[in-house]
Structure 1
């Protein structure tokens, strides 16, 4: 299977991150988002903690693309500020941090 076919089947076309090798695809316009997934979500973090987007993308869309179910997200921050609105569009250079629920006893 060619690289472009793998990319289309693995992620929505708006994401240019290639999961198999972690290399970004080149584009004339793109925005870089830093992603920090904490706790047990860390394994879903993209290589280099960055992802390249070519279309306006919301927090929820990015979490879905990274296969992070909303019920596993307790807190999200954008650039260090708490963000409850998952329909907020991300901007070039944003840093999205995601903290899962924690339990103890």
Structure 2
């Protein structure tokens, strides 16, 4: 079983602020997210997720932080230029794809 961790600044619902979080991966999927300020943890149950959602869709969501890091490392200026529009449009695109997938 492959396991690694990265740090990211995320909004913590317990702290009600953006704080540093440790994101733990197991077998290339997000397994647990821990706020380093208050210690609250969110653990992802891959069996539950796979049972209730399309596997490929979930895999794309769980691997998004890794893919974004790769984009950033490849071309930081292009990544930063595209980020504002992506942040605005991504929630809608994910919702639209999710509703289409769940109808299948």
TM-score (norm 1): 0.28
More helix by share: 2
Q: Which has the higher contact order (CA 8 A, sep 6+)?
A: 1
Q: With structure 2 as the length reference, what TM-score do the two structures score?
A: 0.29
Which is strand-richer, 1 or 2? 2
Asked which structure has the greater CA Rg, the reply is: 2
